[in-house]
């Protein structure tokens, strides 16, 4: 397990949750606030664009209306209407070339009974229609093209007008009608002056240049197909509904009196300058930046907090689980955590030093407690431990183990003759000799007490042990430690008893001791300075 994984996971989880929260918040704000606001502003612009086209259309119709009054021969026309002078109107007023230049397709004069006095209609190539198609206007639009006397608004003295969209010869057209009175406003109306124009591409092109380039004109089946997308019907008040987008265009319809669609105009929708998707590039960029910032923040936190924490966790775990205080990490930062890490390093170092000291003291104490202070041989306690180890070793049953008990002869006399201090020195010399002549690593030499020594020989049978004992005895004798207090020989000698555990017999130190002691007793009895093997 990587140390600190849990903490890292928790932090990464927290960072991820923060990123998701930011993304969600931004998405919600964008969905419920920003996008609707942009959309509303864009729709408002669309409405303005539609109204601008409608206004241009209105201006075009107004311009058509003005042609009625631009006539310098108004009063002559009044006379012609009053006196039904058809020839004057036809010859002097309705001139094809002039109509073509004005982009007007027909000009008519009617009397107050809606009967034609004169006029004519021309097709798009300015060839005259025959018969005149507006000769009987009531056939075209319920007799509504003519202004009848009762329809005139008397009080205002203004000219009464009628403007209609209708189909003429299956093509959309606009008609403008005014009642004919004297130019000074006196006298009663004598008829209706009506002019009309096809609403065709040319008509549309005459809308304000620049705007007209963007306007597309549809009529017939093409116009009908677009019916569903029309959001404004020209001539109807407040008809600009929420603009609908189709082929990136906005559509304006024009209907006749009976609400039959005559033609459709479209203008391109303004390019949306904002991204309409819920996850636009700014959001993604924002998220990436947030992610990067979080990542940098995480790396910083990792460097400043997680890594030192991790290292400390490793050190403490190692100390607790394995009592190992040597694991150290480098803490280079200067925040409290790095300082704590350095402090922990020092603390561990102190613990380690103290542990080493304790171990050393313990070793010393162990050595002291197992060593005979005077001779530096193993003492009685160490001997007991050694014998216990042998007793507990199951391997020993298949091995010979021999025990040698050596006792200095007439040592009382030595003390008496040389004094106790000198006696101690003699004991030390004997100990040195015994140590020097028991060379195998498994041989164990101990001072058993007083002037008595015990040597345990592992993996050594009785004969071999006897040989070792003889060697030791001779070595002490050869050391020639002078003993003037004795009456027989004048040097220090040893009497030695030997006991041995044969193979297949359980090791029992008490039995061996007993046997060796008895053998030693025999050696003393035999005159000392000799070895006796227990049988």
Residues found near ligand GTP in the complex (CB under 6 A): 407-413, 415, 420, 423-424, 427, 450-451, 524, 528
For ligand GTP, give the closer residue by CB, 105 or 415. 415
CA distance 368 to 361: 10
Closest to ligand GTP by CB, 144 or 407: 407
Residue 534 CB, nearest approach to ligand GTP (Å)? 18
As measured in angstroms, the least distance from the Cβ of 485 to ligand GTP is 9
List alpha helices for 302-335, DSSP H. Answer: 307-322
Shortest CB 382 distance to ligand GTP, Å: 17
Comparison of 144 and 451: residue with beta carbon closer to ligand GTP: 451
The 10 Å CB-count burial string (b at 16+, else e) for 406-417 is bbbbbbeebbee
456: Cβ contacts below 8 Å, ≥ 6 apart = 383, 386, 387, 390, 401, 402, 403, 404, 443, 444, 446
Q: Between the CA of residue 371 and those of 175, 407, 437, 439, 459, what are the distances in Å? A: 138, 19, 19, 19, 24
For the stretch 312-318, contacts whose Cβ atoms lie closer than 8 Å and that sit 24 or more positions apart, written own/partner, are 312/340, 312/341, 312/344, 313/3, 313/4, 314/3, 315/344, 315/345, 315/348, 316/344, 317/3
Report in angstroms how near the CB of residue 319 gets to ligand GTP at its nearest: 48
Q: Which is nearer to ligand GTP, 275 or 452 (CB)?
A: 452
Query: What CA–CA distance (Å, rounded) separates 294 from 515?
Result: 85
Query: Which residue, 427 or 499, is less far from ligand GTP as judged by CB?
Result: 427
Q: Are 176 and 161 in contact (CB under 8 A)?
A: yes
Smallest separation (angstroms) from ligand GTP to the CB of 495: 7
Q: Please, what is the minimum distance in Å from the beta carbon of residue 505 to ligand GTP?
A: 30
- Region of residue 126 (left: phi > 0; alpha: psi -120 to 50; beta: else): left
Residue 427 and residue 515 in contact, taking contact as beta carbons nearer than 8 Å: no
Contacts of 261 (CB under 8 A, 6+ apart): 223, 224, 227, 230, 253, 254, 255
347 vs 413 by CB, closer to ligand GTP: 413
Q: Which residue's Cβ lies closest to ligand GTP?
A: 423
Q: Cβ closer to ligand GTP: 338 or 486? A: 486
CB of 476 to ligand GTP, least distance (A): 13
Task: Give the C-alpha distances (Å, rounded to integers) separating 173 from 142, 163, 170, 205.
Answer: 16, 11, 9, 15
Strand-pair partners of 177: 162, 194
Least distance (Å) from ligand GTP to the CB of residue 389? 27
Q: How far is the CB of 364 from ligand GTP (least distance, A)?
A: 23
Q: Provide the pairing of β-strand 216-219 with 191-198.
A: unpaired
CA distance 233 to 231: 7
Cis peptide before 105 (omega within 30 of 0): no
Cα separation, 57 vs 534, in Å, equals 144
Phi, psi angle pair for 219, to nearest 5°: -145, 170
Which of 352, 359, 343 has the alpha carbon at shortest distance from 318?
Answer: 352
- C-beta of 46 vs 407, nearer to ligand GTP: 407
DSSP string of 432-477, one letter each residue: HHHHHT--STT-EEEEEETTEEEEEEET--HHHHHHHHHHHHHHHH
Q: Which residue, 199 or 520, is less far from ligand GTP as judged by CB?
A: 520
3-state secondary structure of 313: helix
CB of 408 to ligand GTP, least distance (A): 6
Nearer to ligand GTP, 181 or 375 (CB): 375
Q: In this complex, which beta carbon is closest to ligand GTP, that of residue 410 or of residue 501?
A: 410
Residue 333 or 485 with smaller CB distance to ligand GTP: 485
């Amino acid at each position: 397990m990587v140390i600190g994984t849990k903490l890292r996971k928790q932090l990464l989880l927290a960072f991820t949750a923060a990123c998701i929260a930011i993304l969600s918040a931004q998405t919600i704000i964008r969905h419920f606030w920003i996008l609707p606001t942009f959309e509303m502003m864009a729709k408002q612009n669309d409405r303005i664009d539609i109204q601008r086209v409608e206004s241009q259309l209105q201006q075009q119709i107004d311009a058509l209306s003005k042609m009625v009054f631009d006539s310098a021969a108004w009063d002559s026309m009044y006379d012609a209407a009053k006196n039904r002078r058809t020839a004057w109107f036809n010859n002097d007023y309705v001139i094809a070339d002039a109509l073509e230049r004005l982009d007007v397709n027909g000009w008519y004069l009617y009397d107050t009974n809606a009967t034609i006095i004169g006029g004519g209609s021309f097709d798009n190539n300015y060839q005259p229609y025959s018969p005149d198609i507006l000769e009987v206007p009531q056939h075209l639009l319920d007799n509504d093209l003519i202004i009848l006397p009762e329809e005139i608004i008397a009080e205002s003295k203004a000219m009464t007008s009628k403007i209609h969209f209708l189909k003429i010869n299956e093509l959309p057209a606009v008609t403008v009608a005014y009642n004919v009175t004297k130019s000074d406003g006196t006298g009663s109306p004598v008829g209706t002056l009506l002019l009309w124009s096809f609403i065709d591409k040319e008509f549309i092109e005459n809308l304000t240049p620049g705007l007209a380039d963007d306007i597309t004109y549809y009529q017939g089946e093409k116009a009908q197909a677009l019916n569903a997308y029309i959001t404004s019907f020209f001539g109807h008040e407040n008809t600009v509904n929420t603009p609908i987008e189709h082929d990136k265009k906005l559509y304006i319809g024009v209907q006749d009196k009976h609400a039959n669609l005559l033609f459709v105009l479209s203008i391109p929708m303004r390019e949306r300058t904002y991204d309409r998707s819920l996850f636009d590039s700014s959001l993604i960029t924002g998220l990436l930046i947030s992610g990067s910032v979080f990542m940098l923040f995480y790396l910083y936190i990792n460097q400043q907090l997680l890594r030192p924490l991790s290292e400390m966790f490793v050190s403490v775990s190692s100390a607790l689980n394995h009592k190992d205080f040597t694991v150290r990490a480098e803490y280079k930062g200067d925040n409290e955590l790095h300082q704590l890490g350095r402090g922990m390093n020092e603390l561990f170092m102190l613990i380690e030093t103290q542990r080493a000291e304790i171990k050393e003291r313990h070793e010393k104490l162990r050595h002291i407690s197992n060593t005979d202070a005077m001779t530096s041989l193993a003492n009685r306690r160490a001997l007991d431990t050694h014998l216990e180890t042998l007793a507990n070793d199951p391997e020993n049953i298949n091995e010979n183990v021999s025990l040698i008990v050596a006792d200095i002869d007439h040592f009382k006399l030595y003390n008496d003759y040389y004094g106790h201090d000198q006696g101690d020195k003699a004991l030390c010399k004997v100990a040195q000799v015994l140590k020097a002549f028991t060379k195998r690593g498994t041989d164990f030499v101990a001072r058993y007490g007083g002037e008595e020594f015990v040597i345990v020989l592992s993996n050594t049978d009785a004969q071999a042990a006897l040989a070792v004992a003889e060697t030791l005895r001779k070595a002490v004798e050869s050391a020639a430690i002078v003993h003037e207090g004795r009456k027989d020989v004048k040097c220090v000698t040893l009497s030695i008893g030997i006991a041995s555990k044969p193979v297949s017999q359980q090791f029992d130190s008490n039995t061996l001791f007993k046997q060796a002691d008895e053998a030693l007793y025999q050696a003393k009895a035999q005159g000392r300075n000799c070895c006796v093997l227990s049988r």
